[in-house]
Protein backbone atom coordinates (compact mmCIF):
# COMPACT_ATOMS: atom_id res chain seq x y z
CA UNK A 1 0.00 0.00 0.00
CA UNK A 2 1.38 3.39 -0.96
CA UNK A 3 1.85 5.93 1.84
CA UNK A 4 4.16 8.83 2.54
CA UNK A 5 7.00 7.79 4.82
CA UNK A 6 6.29 9.26 8.24
CA UNK A 7 8.66 7.20 10.39
CA UNK A 8 12.44 7.21 10.63
CA UNK A 9 14.07 4.12 9.16
CA UNK A 10 14.62 1.36 11.71
CA UNK A 11 15.87 -2.19 11.50
CA UNK A 12 13.37 -5.03 11.79
CA UNK A 13 9.93 -5.89 10.50
CA UNK A 14 7.96 -5.40 13.72
CA UNK A 15 4.43 -4.11 13.31
CA UNK A 16 4.63 -2.53 16.77
CA UNK A 17 4.74 1.26 16.86
CA UNK A 18 6.05 1.65 20.41
CA UNK A 19 9.76 2.06 19.53
CA UNK A 20 9.38 4.02 16.31
CA UNK A 21 10.12 7.70 15.83
CA UNK A 22 8.22 10.06 13.55
CA UNK A 23 10.03 12.46 11.24
CA UNK A 24 9.10 16.13 11.66
CA UNK A 25 7.05 16.07 8.46
CA UNK A 26 5.76 12.62 9.43
CA UNK A 27 4.11 14.03 12.56
CA UNK A 28 2.20 16.53 10.44
CA UNK A 29 1.27 13.95 7.80
CA UNK A 30 0.01 11.47 10.43
CA UNK A 31 -1.89 14.08 12.42
CA UNK A 32 -3.79 15.31 9.36
CA UNK A 33 -4.12 11.90 7.69
CA UNK A 34 -2.36 13.20 4.58
CA UNK A 35 0.02 10.24 4.76
CA UNK A 36 -2.89 8.31 3.19
CA UNK A 37 -2.98 10.51 0.06
CA UNK A 38 -0.80 8.21 -2.11
CA UNK A 39 -3.45 5.51 -1.68
CA UNK A 40 -5.40 7.36 -4.37
CA UNK A 41 -3.10 5.52 -6.79
CA UNK A 42 -4.67 2.25 -5.55
CA UNK A 43 -8.14 3.75 -6.07
CA UNK A 44 -7.27 4.74 -9.64
CA UNK A 45 -5.89 1.23 -10.30
CA UNK A 46 -9.11 -0.29 -8.90
CA UNK A 47 -7.34 -2.02 -6.01
CA UNK A 48 -9.02 0.12 -3.36
CA UNK A 49 -12.12 2.23 -2.92
CA UNK A 50 -12.53 5.59 -1.22
CA UNK A 51 -14.87 3.97 1.32
CA UNK A 52 -14.56 0.51 2.87
CA UNK A 53 -12.86 -1.34 5.70
CA UNK A 54 -9.22 -0.29 6.03
CA UNK A 55 -6.71 -2.79 4.63
CA UNK A 56 -4.76 -4.67 7.27
CA UNK A 57 -1.19 -6.02 7.24
CA UNK A 58 -0.85 -9.39 5.53
CA UNK A 59 0.72 -10.69 8.75
CA UNK A 60 -2.75 -10.55 10.37
CA UNK A 61 -4.37 -12.86 7.79
CA UNK A 62 -4.11 -16.10 9.78
CA UNK A 63 -5.44 -14.42 12.94
CA UNK A 64 -8.94 -13.52 11.68
CA UNK A 65 -12.01 -15.43 12.80
CA UNK A 66 -14.52 -16.68 10.24
CA UNK A 67 -16.77 -13.65 10.92
CA UNK A 68 -13.87 -11.18 10.74
CA UNK A 69 -12.98 -12.50 7.28
CA UNK A 70 -16.34 -11.19 6.00
CA UNK A 71 -14.84 -7.70 5.98
CA UNK A 72 -12.96 -8.79 2.85
CA UNK A 73 -16.24 -9.25 0.95
CA UNK A 74 -15.94 -5.60 -0.09
CA UNK A 75 -13.05 -3.60 -1.54
CA UNK A 76 -10.84 -2.03 1.15
CA UNK A 77 -11.04 1.73 1.48
CA UNK A 78 -9.05 4.79 2.40
CA UNK A 79 -11.66 5.66 5.03
CA UNK A 80 -14.49 3.66 6.50
CA UNK A 81 -17.24 3.26 9.07
CA UNK A 82 -14.77 2.26 11.81
CA UNK A 83 -12.52 5.25 11.06
CA UNK A 84 -15.34 7.77 11.51
CA UNK A 85 -16.36 6.06 14.76
CA UNK A 86 -13.09 6.19 16.60
CA UNK A 87 -10.25 5.31 14.24
CA UNK A 88 -7.44 4.10 16.55
CA UNK A 89 -9.32 5.00 19.75
CA UNK A 90 -11.52 1.89 19.55
CA UNK A 91 -10.70 -1.73 20.28
CA UNK A 92 -10.00 -4.33 17.59
CA UNK A 93 -13.32 -5.98 18.45
CA UNK A 94 -15.25 -2.74 17.94
CA UNK A 95 -13.36 -2.05 14.71
CA UNK A 96 -14.30 -5.46 13.31
CA UNK A 97 -17.90 -5.01 14.49
CA UNK A 98 -18.13 -1.66 12.68
CA UNK A 99 -16.47 -3.04 9.54
CA UNK A 100 -18.91 -5.95 9.43
CA UNK A 101 -21.86 -3.61 9.97
CA UNK A 102 -20.66 -1.58 6.99
CA UNK A 103 -20.35 -4.72 4.82
CA UNK A 104 -23.94 -5.66 5.69
CA UNK A 105 -25.37 -2.14 5.15
CA UNK A 106 -23.28 -0.80 2.26
CA UNK A 107 -25.05 1.89 0.24
CA UNK A 108 -24.35 5.11 -1.60
CA UNK A 109 -26.08 7.07 1.17
CA UNK A 110 -23.85 5.47 3.81
CA UNK A 111 -20.74 6.17 1.73
CA UNK A 112 -21.74 9.84 1.44
CA UNK A 113 -22.21 9.97 5.23
CA UNK A 114 -18.75 8.46 5.76
CA UNK A 115 -17.15 10.95 3.35
CA UNK A 116 -18.81 13.87 5.16
CA UNK A 117 -17.72 12.59 8.59
CA UNK A 118 -14.19 11.99 7.30
CA UNK A 119 -14.01 15.56 6.00
CA UNK A 120 -15.28 16.92 9.33
CA UNK A 121 -12.66 14.88 11.23
CA UNK A 122 -9.95 16.19 8.90
CA UNK A 123 -11.00 19.81 9.51
CA UNK A 124 -11.21 19.23 13.27
CA UNK A 125 -7.69 17.75 13.41
CA UNK A 126 -6.22 20.69 11.49
CA UNK A 127 -7.54 23.18 14.04
CA UNK A 128 -6.92 21.05 17.18
CA UNK A 129 -3.37 21.86 18.26
CA UNK A 130 -3.48 19.28 21.08
CA UNK A 131 -4.40 16.23 19.03
CA UNK A 132 -1.72 13.60 18.53
CA UNK A 133 -1.93 10.52 16.33
CA UNK A 134 -2.72 7.43 18.37
CA UNK A 135 -1.32 4.15 17.14
CA UNK A 136 -3.33 0.96 17.21
CA UNK A 137 -1.85 -1.97 19.11
CA UNK A 138 -0.67 -4.93 17.03
CA UNK A 139 -3.52 -7.37 16.40
CA UNK A 140 -2.72 -10.85 17.75
CA UNK A 141 -6.07 -12.53 17.10
CA UNK A 142 -7.26 -12.43 20.70
CA UNK A 143 -6.85 -8.79 21.81
CA UNK A 144 -10.33 -7.71 20.77
CA UNK A 145 -11.17 -5.61 23.84
Domain of residue 72 covers 48-127
pLDDT at 48: 92
Q: Which residue has the higher pLDDT, 48 or 58?
A: 48
25: in domain: yes
CA distances to 17, 18, 89 from 21, rounded to whole Å, are: 8, 9, 20
142: in domain: no
pLDDT at 15: 47
pLDDT tens digits, 55-94: 888 888 888 889 988 998 999 999 999 999 987 788 889 9
**61 with 121, same domain?**
yes
Nearest by Cα to 108 from 43, 51, 45, 48: 51
**59 with 118, same domain?**
yes
**60 with 97, same domain?**
yes
pTM for the structure as a whole: 0.72
138: in domain: no
145: in domain: no
Amino acid sequence: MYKFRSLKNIDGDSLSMEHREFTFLGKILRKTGLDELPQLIHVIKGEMSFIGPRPMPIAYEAKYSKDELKRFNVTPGITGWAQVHGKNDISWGKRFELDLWYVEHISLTLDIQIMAKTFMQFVKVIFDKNSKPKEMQVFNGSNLT
